[in-house]
Chain A
Amino acid sequence: MVILVFWSFSLDAPLEEPANPTLTPNPSKAPWYFLGLQEMLVYFDPWVAGVVLPTFVIIGLMAIPYIDVNEKGNGYYTFKERKYAVLIYCFGFLILWVSLIVLGTFWRGPGWYFFFPWQEWDTHRVVALTNVDLSEYFGIHTRHADNSLNPWAIVFGVLLIGGYYSLMGIYWMIKKNSELVKKMGFTKYSITAFLFLTMMSLPIKMFLRIAFNVKYILVTPWFNI
């Protein structure tokens, strides 16, 4: 409270120019707490970034009491006895969610292009648009010349994503006999593993986009991943 009182001397209510329906601000930024979601839109199509992934976040948070079989830490704080739970949560919240908000707030300028915080925002900045779908790297065109989808590209994407999620099965095979996996049982394990892989898909996709200009892995008429 003391800090707030003294801080408030130096801060006046931040008012910008009056809203104008005929003028869209560039960049159009959501309120700060939504900027993580807005940042996700860069990497996924709106249906995935705006609907599917947030839904999984909520479902995942709701599922925690049911899939967390570790009874340690009740009534007291412990890191040593809950290493995985704490680390995974911290990765999801601090590393992914908070850093996406920071990225969206301070590192994005006009056109939602990437600007360093000390760089001047140039509204006329031009960025080369060279993103391609992953299949193109393997010589499979996503679309035919007449703009219809190439079924082979879809097969390629489905295989790749299927392969990614099959990692959970492979891990189950390997660790089938470990104490933790046994304790969880098949259902809890599959839910946890699915949610974990889905969460990890975000940094993977971000890496692919930033390092290899990958647009989508799977393109379907209804949604793209």
Chain B
Amino acid sequence: MNRLLQLFSRRAETPIETRDYGKVYFALAALLFFGTMWSVVDEVTTRRPWKDFQQEYLELSASQWEKKKAEAVAAMDSAALKEVETQLSEAQAKLSSPEVVSIKKQVNDLEEALLDLNRDFTFAKSRGDEAYYFWKKALHEGKEDPGAKKKLDENESEMAETNSRIEELNSRHDSLAKIVDGYTQIVKAVRAKSKDLHAAIDLATSKIEKAQSSPIRIHQVMRNNFDRSNFGIPKARIDRCQTCHAGWKDEVMLDAKQPFTSHPLPELLKIHDPEVFGCTPCHHGQGTALTAGMAHGDDDHYWEWPLLKGKEVYASCNSCHMNETFVKYGDRYNLSKRLISESGCFGCHEIKGYLEMPKIGPQLNQLVVKETPEWLFRWVRNPKDYNPHTRMPNFKFTDDQAEAIAAFLMSLGNQSRYHPQKGAAGTGNADHGKELVGQVGCKGCHVIENDTRMRDARGRSYDIAPELTRVGSKINADWAYEWVKNPRSVNPDARMPNLRLTDQEARDVAAYLMTLKDDRAFEQKVMNLESPQTIAKGEKLVREYGCAGCHSIKGMEKESRVSVSLNNIGRKRVDELDFGDKTAAEVPHTWDDWIFNKIKNARTYTTDRIFSKMPVFAFADSEIVALRTLLRGYTKELPEESYQQAYGTRLMEIEAGRRLTNFQYNCSGCHQIEEEGGYIKATLDDEGYAPPYLYPEGNKVQEPWLHDFLKGPTPVRPWLTIHMPTFGLTDDEITTASRYFLALHKKELGLRDYQSVQPDPKYVAVGKKLFEDLQCLSCHYTGKIPEGKTPADLAPNLSMAKNRLKPEWIVDWIINPDVIQPGTRMPQYYPDLKEASPFSQDFAGDAREQIKALREYVLTIQSSK
């Protein structure tokens, strides 16, 4: 220390002008140089981890393909290979035999000679043209040029001579070349065979070569106008994800570790090509970044679109498909869309794609004829207490509030003109009623007693129609009878269809339902239902809590939605969410946790000052997670319109049909139409009793028949105890259904005359013979149902075909029934249409013509009594 001080004081004695700074400058310059070098190294390697990733990927891919290649080599059919090799050497030997070689030589010589001759011809023609010009020119000048004329004639004769020679040589050449060509073709064919044998190996080899020779580089995808900046200016979207995730389309990388794994849904990528769109439109993340933390958004606090991990990616479907309730490969997206459709969130919240939905609840204008005020009170108090699987959420009303609401609803009912006939229910046989309920299809919509098979098959936490286990304590017998007999006579807008029961059957069912009692004891509640103040209070509550969002209530037809719009809920910032009294330990202060807990228990953020009116639902956790994923997808920041799925006529028809069949009338309880439905099957002992699969309907049935059938069903499969009920659909609704079925097959509803086309008698005759040979009537029938057969052995009445089936569909059906209806019992008679028919020699054994003959015959079948 002292020495240092001495150094400084000595230095201070030296005049400034003569001090030496060389060492200091050198040290600083060295540091600067070191810093510069460091920055270069940093720039090239340290800050470019993607280079290592890509290198690793290329090595991994090459080694995987090496494995594949070894497998292919091992799997090589050595006998076939040997055969091909001998064939090849034989063919090549033939091609190089002295005989063929000499022919080849002759062909070559001829080609040379032809070349010369062709030149001679061209020159002669050229000289002739020149002579013709001079001769004509002289003529126009009024002179004669005999020299030119002579020259012209000479050349023309030379041309003719040369031409004949050319033709002669040409024909000789062609015949010889044909021989050589024949041998070459054989070699080529064998080579192609060999190539086919080697296909797997060659593919692996080319992949290995590609991996070994690929340069390390950034893979970038750019869309110039995919989205817009916050100022509305088109903004390019740049994705470099594939720089590290290099194995996304490499099939051998399916089980590789990240970031090299290949995409699990290659089929989906055929529609949404990452080489065109990039990855971030669906997966989000910071596409331009090249380090994991920044690209995924975990390390970048300011990046507004962090990576959607796992199934959260289905949130992105909503950006372009918000109008659809079902998309192929949609997985969690489809579930969540269905949850919203069925739970009626749109009754209180404005949600894009759900603006024109039917109210999901029943009308409340005539409850007085059906329920007692005590039951209604307990229901309003907590619906889940009576039926834990009801879709109605719990509003957690106090006793006083519930009393007021019951009073209001009863006062509405008192204004109603409908009353069931006293004593209409008469006496019924409850046992028979119970049997009927199990047989006619009630269980497609309703769960009764312990039979939860339909609910389990649906896999939801709620039912579409009320569970009937305690219904005897809810409704009165007369109402039950009239309702079961014909729900529309009680309520014209009822969703429950008419099952066409006889009076006695309806009485039996009603009697059975009345035996289903709620055996719990309830404290008798003394209520004041008449007081105008209570009724007014009830009306106010009904209005405030938005009951009219789900129910139609007299006088509240035009109520607006009581809660906020959810169209931008995915972009809500955490500081805009009110966590109430929940500490970060109870509910972590994130968007995800807020939404989850809000749907789980809507009142969870209620404080002594802030009250939430949203009722408490009872979704399963998996359903909440699905709903949350969808909500994340509701944002106002959408891709440019040209990238969104156009909501055109066909899609609108399909969506209207989905709404009608799934959410309005619950057709999917009994029928599978697209990928879901047919849950009633779970309650049947024999699948042969199950209602049909309806996806093929648009291709299959004639539109007039479908119209008549939906108006008033006539049994197609009379042996089924489950009736297709009468829904009393309006013509508009039937048209919607028809258009839906057709649109699923990319068809439009049009005018078409099925009856005037007369079958060709020649085809009919052949068809009749085939029909008998193939014993179609061992399952099908044409008049009465054959006796002594189980439902599994029965097939529809073919005398209906003429008025029911589309002719072109019958052909498709006979060609391959299993493609149209997987699991059908109808056999495939013509497995290969190219092969000759094994059944008959008619039409030279042409399978397609014979199928047509069968069709023509089937269309002539009349009902036999």
Given contacts A17-B302, A17-B303, A22-B230, contact A124 B35 (CB under 8 A): no
Alpha-carbon distance between A205 and B40 when the two chains are bound, in angstroms? 54
Contacts of A124 in B (CB 8 A): 575
A5 engages B39 (CB within 8 Å):
yes
B 21-57 binary contact with A (CB < 8 Å = 1; else 0)? 0000000100110011011001000000000000000
Query: Is A71's CB within 8 Å of the partner chain B?
Result: no
- Give B202-233 interface residues, CB cut-off 8 Å to A: 229-231
Query: Looking at A16, A18, A22, A124, which has the most chain B CB atoms within 10 Å of its CB?
Result: A18
Contacts of A123 in B (CB 8 A): 575
B230 engages A9 (CB within 8 Å):
no
Query: Is B304's CB within 8 Å of the partner chain A?
Result: yes
B39 engages A9 (CB within 8 Å):
yes
A19 engages B230 (CB within 8 Å):
yes
Query: Is A1's CB within 8 Å of the partner chain B?
Result: yes
A18 engages B31 (CB within 8 Å):
no
A6 engages B35 (CB within 8 Å):
yes
Given contacts A2-B28, A123-B575, contact A16 B302 (CB under 8 A): yes
Minimal Cβ-Cβ distance residue in B for A18 = B230
Alpha-carbon distance between A19 and B35 when the two chains are bound, in angstroms? 35
Minimal Cβ-Cβ distance residue in A for B30 = A2
Query: Is A15's CB within 8 Å of the partner chain B?
Result: yes
B302 engages A21 (CB within 8 Å):
no
Query: Is A20's CB within 8 Å of the partner chain B?
Result: yes
Alpha-carbon distance between A124 and B303 when the two chains are bound, in angstroms? 23
Contacts of B229 in A (CB 8 A): 18
Q: Nearest Cβ in chain B — how far from A5, in angstroms? A: 4
Query: Count the A-B residue pairs with Cβ separation under 8 angstroms: how many?
Result: 31
Alpha-carbon distance between A195 and B31 when the two chains are bound, in angstroms? 48
Given contacts A9-B42, A123-B575, contact A20 B35 (CB under 8 A): no
Minimal Cβ-Cβ distance residue in A for B28 = A2
- Give A1-44 interface residues, CB cut-off 8 Å to B: 1-2, 5-6, 8-9, 15-22, 26
B35 engages A5 (CB within 8 Å):
yes
Q: Which of A1, A5, A15 contacts B302 (CB 8 A)?
A: A15
Q: Which of B38, B231, B304 contacts A21 (CB 8 A)?
A: B231
B39 engages A2 (CB within 8 Å):
no
- Grouping DSSP codes into helix (H, G, I), strand (E, B) and loop, the A interface class, with mixed when no group exceeds half, is loop
Chain A residues within 8 Å of chain B by Cβ, number: 17
Q: Nearest Cβ in chain B — how far from A191, in angstroms? A: 40
Contacts of B36 in A (CB 8 A): 5
Alpha-carbon distance between A21 and B232 when the two chains are bound, in angstroms? 10
Contacts of B575 in A (CB 8 A): 26, 123-124
Contacts of B230 in A (CB 8 A): 18-22
A2 engages B302 (CB within 8 Å):
no
Alpha-carbon distance between A21 and B303 when the two chains are bound, in angstroms? 17
Alpha-carbon distance between A81 and B31 when the two chains are bound, in angstroms? 41
Q: Nearest Cβ in chain B — how far from A211, in angstroms? A: 32
Alpha-carbon distance between A76 and B230 when the two chains are bound, in angstroms? 56
Alpha-carbon distance between A9 and B42 when the two chains are bound, in angstroms? 8
Alpha-carbon distance between A17 and B573 when the two chains are bound, in angstroms? 13
Q: Nearest Cβ in chain B — how far from A124, in angstroms? A: 7
Minimal Cβ-Cβ distance residue in B for A14 = B302
Contacts of A8 in B (CB 8 A): 39
A5 engages B42 (CB within 8 Å):
no
Alpha-carbon distance between A17 and B301 when the two chains are bound, in angstroms? 9
Alpha-carbon distance between A22 and B231 when the two chains are bound, in angstroms? 9
Alpha-carbon distance between A6 and B229 when the two chains are bound, in angstroms? 35
Alpha-carbon distance between A150 and B375 when the two chains are bound, in angstroms? 67
Alpha-carbon distance between A157 and B507 when the two chains are bound, in angstroms? 93
Alpha-carbon distance between A20 and B230 when the two chains are bound, in angstroms? 5
Alpha-carbon distance between A38 and B465 when the two chains are bound, in angstroms? 63
A2 engages B38 (CB within 8 Å):
no
Given contacts A9-B42, A21-B230, A22-B230, contact A2 B303 (CB under 8 A): no
Minimal Cβ-Cβ distance residue in B for A122 = B575
Alpha-carbon distance between A16 and B38 when the two chains are bound, in angstroms? 28
Contacts of A9 in B (CB 8 A): 38-39, 42
Contacts of B28 in A (CB 8 A): 2
Contacts of B302 in A (CB 8 A): 15-17
Contacts of B42 in A (CB 8 A): 9
Minimal Cβ-Cβ distance residue in B for A1 = B32
Alpha-carbon distance between A17 and B28 when the two chains are bound, in angstroms? 39
Alpha-carbon distance between A17 and B229 when the two chains are bound, in angstroms? 12
B31 engages A2 (CB within 8 Å):
yes
Minimal Cβ-Cβ distance residue in B for A124 = B575
Alpha-carbon distance between A19 and B575 when the two chains are bound, in angstroms? 18
Contacts of A1 in B (CB 8 A): 32
Contacts of B35 in A (CB 8 A): 2, 5-6
Contacts of A15 in B (CB 8 A): 302
| A-B contacts, 15 listed (Cβ < 8 Å) | A1-B32, A2-B31, A5-B32, A5-B39, A6-B35, A8-B39, A9-B39, A16-B302, A17-B303, A17-B304, A19-B231, A21-B230, A21-B231, A22-B230, A123-B575
* B-binding residues in A (CB < 8 A): 1-2, 5-6, 8-9, 15-22, 26, 123-124
8 extra A-B contacts, CB within 8 A, seeds A2-B28, A5-B35: A5-B32, A5-B36, A9-B39, A17-B302, A17-B303, A17-B304, A18-B229, A21-B231
* A-binding residues in B (CB < 8 A): 28, 31-32, 35-36, 38-39, 42, 229-231, 302-304, 575
The 4 tightest CB contacts between A and B, nearest first, are A5-B35, A20-B230, A123-B575, A17-B302
